Amino acid sequence: MRIDDLLNQLGEWLKGTGPNSDIVMSSRVRLARNLNKIPFSHWANKKDKEKVLVSIKAALLENEFLKNGISVSMKELDEIDRNFLLERHLVSHELIQKTDNKCALISSNEAVSGMINEEDHLRLQVMQSGFNLRDAFEIVEGIDKFLATRLDFAFSPEWGYLTACPTNAGTGIRSSVMLHLPTLVLTKQINKILEAITRLGLTARGFYGEGTQATGNFFQISNQVTLGQKEEDIIDNIERLIKQVVEYEQNARQMLIGQERQRISDRIWRAYGVLKNAYIISSIETIDLLSSVRLGVDLGIIKDISRQQLNTLFVFIQPAHLQKLEGKKLTSQERDVKRAQLIRSKLTCA
Amino acid sequence: MLCNICGKNQATVHVTEIVNNQTTEMHLCEGCAKEKSIQMEQHFGLSDLLAGIADLGTPFGAKTQDELKLKCSNCGMSYEDFKKIGRLGCSVCYGAFRKNLVPLLKRIHGSTQHIGSTPAKSANETKKKSDAEELREKLQQAIQREEFEEAAKLRDKLKELEKKNEDKKKTKGEDKGKAK
């Protein structure tokens, strides 16, 4: 399978299915693993990194999820392809920088991705559509067990899996969900909720990952503590909290639709109108409008597009995706035109 | 006046640094000043925040020159390197910097004992540890309930178990040495 094949398919996490998929876009669980005694990626020399690459790649390629997928060396990819994978959440920022001996293995349905020579020797992630941390964890745990029989992971009974950054030590697990919370933002309750979440040991980020602002009312919430808790408890803890946040958003939506139906309908249809008719549009404006339209679909106000189509648009309106579709590099202005064209074609067909 | 850093060129830039109420004056040449300012710019991000905490662990934090110079025998990283970078050099570093890492891990995670899954190979070793962990939890609970007699008993039990574990580790280490 090649990277270009991804253009014609929909990643597992974009399906718009699964529990609570009106509010929870996707769930992700990732593990950080290192090989015993070999220096961590940032401290390793070329030989060490090569050794890591060869042994981990061989083990991953034996796994049923990854053997028929994509295996790419970051160095061999051009900038657009690297960012294309980043935009699909299949690789991390860290992986596409300083690309020597860095490699990604991706399952054909885009649910599983193994990143070699990331901050840790291996970052293994599983993504699922909707509120589905359990399934994601089950899959990642299975692959981890499979790998442990083939690789000598750095592990101490006292501190668990040893990672380059002590913030990941222990279970090395980071579980996160991508939430769409437009009404909590609209009713200005979001800050209180984010504050509470942080106090309970979770962190919130934007749609486009680490260090990004929450755009389009999307929030990625993940656990912070990795040591001193069992994997199941970490998942359980975040699940419970997210369930509550989902409930808050549901209640706010009910209230809004009951009390402000006209106003919210107006906002949703206007957003739909602009998206359907614009000829030049920036990504920030697009994301904001798509967020309103998604709410419209969730509330049953807009009926002629699916959540899946919208999820796909959220990904395809990003710079590298547009350039990949066009087959060449585009300037920012050219992208704004191409983006509007893409959205018009997707929404009018609908 | 000559530059404080290179000691070769004339100092043209004068910097006053105030850290923890301690004032340091620096007189630098243009070249060294530029380098210093790049260092300051780079001084940002998670690794630095972490490095900051790594230093906060008083009275456990690395205070003395000896501790800063402490080196990992496997990968050569010194504690000073770790403080600068915020990432460890290899898995052996954890043992090498143990004294300073324990308070750091405690600060980050609120715990210093892994209770999650283990790779198939070391399942036995962890079993022993989790007994100790169980005792530790019971001990904490007893203290919270203010049942101090019970707590004292648990504490003694825990000490005994820990000693057993230590001894086992030692003999294991020796065995390994012999085997080689």
A155·B92 Cβ contact <8 A: no
Please list the residues that pair with A203 across neighbouring strands: A222
The residue-averaged pLDDT of A206-221 equals 71
- Chain segment B28-59, per-residue pLDDT in tens: 787 777 666 655 544 445 555 666 666 554 44
Q: Is A145 on the interface with B (CB under 8 A)?
A: yes
Element (H, E) at B129: helix B123-144
pLDDT in tens, A89-115: 999 999 999 999 999 999 999 999 999
Which two tokens mark B102? 């324990």
- Chain B closest CA to A79's CA: distance in Å? 24
Element (H, E) at B98: helix B98-109
Do the Cβ atoms of B112 and A156 come within 8 Å? no
Q: Which amino acid is at A215?
A: T
Size of interface A-B (CB pairs under 8 A): 120
Mean pLDDT throughout A15-44?
94
Q: What is the mean pLDDT of residues A225-239?
A: 94
Q: State whether residue A59 sits within 8 Å of chain B by CB.
A: no
Kindly report, residue by residue over A234-293, the tens digit of the pLDDT: 999 999 999 999 999 999 999 999 999 999 999 999 999 999 999 999 988 999 999 999
Length in residues, chain A:
350
Q: For residue B60, what pLDDT band results from cuts at 50, 70 and 90?
A: very low
Quote the CA–CA distance of A49 and A101 in Å, as a whole number. 6
Closest Cα of chain B to A122: distance in Å? 14
Say whether B50 and A157 touch across the interface (CB within 8 A). no
Residue A188, classified by CB atoms within 10 Å of its CB into exposed (0-12), middle (13-18) or buried (19+), is exposed
- Residues from chain A that touch B94, judged by Cβ atoms under 8 A, are 156, 159, 162, 169
From chain B, the residues in CB contact with A37 under 8 A are 74, 90-92
pLDDT tens readout for residues B125-173: 445 556 777 788 778 777 777 778 888 888 888 888 878 777 766 665 5
Mutation target among A38, A42, A43, A144 for the B interface, most CBs of B within 10 A: A43
Determine the distance in angstroms separating the CA of A119 from the nearest CA of chain B, rounded to an integer: 9
* Residue whose entry in the numeric block shows the structure tokens 């061999």: A76
For A51, A150, B73, B77, B178, the CA distances from A161, given in Å and listed in that order, are: 20, 16, 20, 19, 27
Q: For A244-309, give the secondary structure using H, E and C.
A: HHHHHHHHHHHHHHHHCHHHHHHHHHHHHHHHHHCCCCCHHHHHHHHHHHHHHHHCCCCCCCCHHH
Strand partners, A27: A128, A177
Residue B122 has pLDDT above 60, yes or no: no
Query: Scanning the structure block, which residue is given the tokens 């530029």?
Result: B34
Judge whether A296 and A268 are in contact, CB under 8 Å. yes
On whether any CB of chain B is under 8 Å from the CB of A56, the answer is: no
Residues 6+ apart with CB under 8 A from A44: A38, A52, A117
Of A97 and B63, the structure prediction assigns the larger pLDDT to A97
Helix axis angle, A332-349 relative to A283-298, nearest 10°? 20
- Which A residues 205-264 touch B at CB under 8 Å? 225-231
Q: Pick A37's closest partner by Cβ from B47, B77, B91.
A: B91
Q: Is A167 helix (H, G, I), strand (E, B) or coil?
A: helix
A119 touches chain B (CB under 8 A): yes
Q: Do A169 and B109 touch (CB under 8 A)?
A: yes
User: How many residues would you count in chain B?
Assistant: 180
pLDDT tens readout for residues A312-327: 999 999 999 999 999 9
Q: Contacts of residue A143 in chain B, CB cutoff 8 Å? A: none
- Are A158 and B129 in contact (CB < 8 Å)? yes
Rounded to the nearest angstrom, the gap between the alpha carbon of residue A238 and the centroid of all alpha carbons in its chain is 16
Return the residue of A nearest to B169 by Cα: A157
Report the pLDDT value the prediction gives residue A227, as an integer from 0 to 100.
94
Q: Which residues of chain B are at the A interface, by a Cβ-Cβ cutoff of 8 Å?
A: 46-47, 50, 74-75, 77, 85-92, 94-95, 101, 104-105, 108-122, 125-126, 128-129
Q: What is the mean pLDDT of residues B106-116?
A: 91
| CB atoms B125 and A157 under 8 Å | yes
Q: Is A123 helix (H, G, I), strand (E, B) or coil?
A: strand
Using CB atoms, which residue from A42, A152, A157 is nearest to B87? A42
Of B86, B105, B118, the CB nearest to A227: B105
